Amino acid sequence: MEEITYKTKGVCARAIHFSRGDDGTITNVSFDGGCDGNLKAISKLVEGMKAEEIAAKLSGNICGFKSTSCADQLAKAVLS
């Protein structure tokens, strides 16, 4: 199990923490900063999913006037 911290870019959350299993399964997702309730919900929804599934669902999601979002950053993080 690999523990990863991903430094975000262009969003309110400063970092994303998660674990990646040998089979690509993502668990224990948490965010530093950002919209607490929404990010807790995203973390629960993606728990146990494969990195590719998360990226397929969340990649390209934007927040307001920004060109990215915390969900989009999570998609990038799990594929890194």
Distance CA 37, CA 67 (A): 21
Give the pLDDT of residue 7: 98
Q: How do residues 11-47 score in pLDDT, each as one tens digit?
A: 999 999 999 999 999 999 999 999 999 999 999 999 9
Q: Averaged over 64-69, what is the pLDDT? A: 94
Mean pLDDT for 49-77 is 96
Global pTM value:
0.95
* Model pLDDT, residue 5: 98
Q: What angle do CA 33, 36, 38 make, to 5 degrees?
A: 125
